[in-house]
Chain A
C-alpha cells in the first residue's frame, strides 16, 4: 500500500522520512510538476510499503502551482499517488497551527497516524501535551511522539501504522458538514481556516498546557545580530566567502583526480580494445563523456553540503529575510540569492538549488539568469585572453589593469543577470502573485545524517537525470570533431608534406591532431561560420573552439592549443600565448588584438557555452523549451555585446 508523509514545513518531516526509510530512497518528480517526490520503503511485518514524502505545506489548499500536487493527490481517490494511509508529522511546540492541515486531512477520511515530533523542543519551551486528551479529539487516530532528529520514534510510528491496518474510520469529521473548497475560492478557504482554527483553539485548552518561560528566546537573541542592518549583511558575506574558499581549495583536487582517472581509463581501454571505430568511440567518446559528468560531482556535493547546513540550521530563511527587499525589484525572491551566488562556483548546483523557491515565475527567472554569473569554468578562458591582450600595467601606479578587467567581467555577468531578470519579470506572465509569508524557524544544530542524504540525493539526480544528456551531447561532439567528409585525404596530404616528415614523432602527432580537427565536421562548421563571426573579430579557428567549448567553457583553451598545434607545457600556456600572439589574418594583421580579445571575453560572459547547464535546466523545468530559449537569448545577447565591444575598441 501507499503511505503518504504529510505535514507543515519546519516540522522535521524529512528527518522522520530519513528515520523511517534510511538510505533506501528514490527521488523523482510528481507527475506533471517539478516537485521533488522522495519515496522509500518501510517494512511492516512481512510486507513492504511505499512511503511518499510530500512537499511540506500549511494547508491542503496550495500557495503555488507547485503545491497543487498535495491538493490533487489527496482530493482525488482515483489519483495514481493517492495514499491508503497517512503519517502526519506536526511540530509539538506549535500544535495549534499544525493541526489546521491535519484536521483537513482527517476530514478526508484517509486513515492516519499523528506524529508529535520535536517533543523535546516543546518541553523546553514549557509546553506539555496530554496525548490522551488529544486522542479523544481524533478518534481512530493513533498518536505517537517522536524526536526524529536524534532517531527516536521509528518503532512507535511503524507500530501505529500497523495498528490501523484493518480499522474503518466511521468517526465524525472534525469540522461539521465539511466539503472541500474550490482551489480558486479564497473566500471559502479563508472561512474554513477560521472555523478550523477557532475549533482547534477551544479544543486544545484541554490538551496543551503552556508555562510562560522567563527570558528572551535564544533564537531571538541570535537574530538581533544575524538580521542586523549592518552585521547581517557582513555575516552573510563572510559565510559566502568561507563557502567559496572551501569549494575553490577543496574541489580542485578531486576534480583533477577524476580527470586523471578517466584519462587513464581512456588510455587503458584504447590499449585493450582492437584498433578501430569501437576503440575510438569508447576511449575518446564514451569514457571522456562519463568523465565530463563525474567531474562536476565534487562541486555539486560541496555546495549542497553547505546549502543543506544553512537550510537545516535555519539560517537560510534569515538570508531570505534580509535579501528579499533587494531582490524583489528584479522579479527575484530572497530565495534566489543562494542559487545565484552558488552559480559563481558553478551554475549546475545553483540551478538545482532553485527548488526551494516555491513561486514558479521567480524560480524560472532565477534558473534563466543563473548562467550569467561567471562560473569557475570561465576562469581559464578569461586568464588566457587577459594575459594575451591586456597589458601588464598599473593605473595610477597601483591598480592592476588585468585585475580590473577580470573584475569587470564578473561584474558584467552580475549586472546582466539582474537586468535580464528585470526584463523577464515583465515578459513572463503568471496569474499567481508572489508572496513571502515565511516562517523563521528556531536555530538548530544541523543533523549530519540529513545533510549527507541531501548531498547524496543531489549527486544522484545530477548523474542519473542530467548525466545521460551530457553523455549523449559529448558523444555527438566527439563524433563531429573526429570525423569529416575527407579525413583520410587530409591526413594523407599532411603526411606527404616535407615539412611534416622532418618533425619528431611527438611533433608529428600534434600536427596530425590539428589537421584532423580542422578537417572534421566541426572544422568545416567553424570555417563555414567565419562570415558570421568575422564582425566580432574572430577567425574560423576561434569558431572551431567556440563550437567545441559548448561541451564546457574551459575546453576553449585546449581546443585552441590543438588547432594551433601547440605542445602542452603543463598548464602554463606560455607556448600557446606566444603562438596566439603571432597568429595573423590573411592580410597580415594579428588575429588577437585588444578589440577581438575583449570581444571574445564578453562573448564568454554571456553565451550559454555549457551543455551540462542545459541538461540541468531541462531536468529542473521538465521540458526542452526553457533550455532552448535560454540558449537562444544568451547566444543573441553574447553575439551583439561582443560585436559592440569589437566595434568600440577597434
Chain B
C-alpha cells in the first residue's frame, strides 16, 4: 500500500496520520507538498490531513481546495483511487466538491476536543471492512466547524444511497441530539462519494491507534484500507 499525505500550509495532523499509517501498515506514507502537481507514482491512498490549512481564513478548506495538487487528487479519485479526508481534509473535500455538503460552525459555537461515539453504518466499504455495521467506536474530535449540512435533497440522496458511513451516537449506539455534539444534520460524522472511494469524516481515527496512549478504536479504519489495497 502506497499512501500519500498532502501537506498544505497550516496542516497540523499530517504527522499523526502518517504515524498511524506506518504503525498499522508497516509502510511509511509519503508527504506531498501542496504546490506539487503530481502524486508520487503508485499512490493508492491519498490522505488530506487535519489542521487549519491557510489558517481557515476565508472559509475552512476553501483555499486548499484550489491548491495545485488538488487536480491530481481529483484525477486519482476519478480513477476510483481512495481519498481520505479527515477534519480539515473533509472540509477541503467538500470545498473541492469531491463530496457534497458543507461543514458549518459547531452548533454551540465553540471548538470541541473530546471523545465521541460513532456508529459504523456499513462494513462493505474500503474504510470499514474490519468493522461490523452497528459497531460503536470511541474516537476523538477536535474541531470548531464540523456541523455537517447539505440541502434536503442531498441529505435524502446520501441516506438513500447508504453514503453516510459514520454517525454521532450515544455510547449504546442510539442517535440522540445530546450526543450529536456539533449539531450535524442527521448526526452525520462521515460521508462517502457516490463511488464510495472518497471518505470525509470529522473525527480523528488516527489519534486512537496506540494502546499505550488510549483507546484503539481508530485502528480498524486503517486496517480496512490496508486489507483492501493489499488484496487489490
Please indicate whether A and B come from the same complex rather than being unrelated chains.
no
Give chain A's interface residues, CB within 8 Å of chain B. none
Give chain B's interface residues, CB within 8 Å of chain A. none
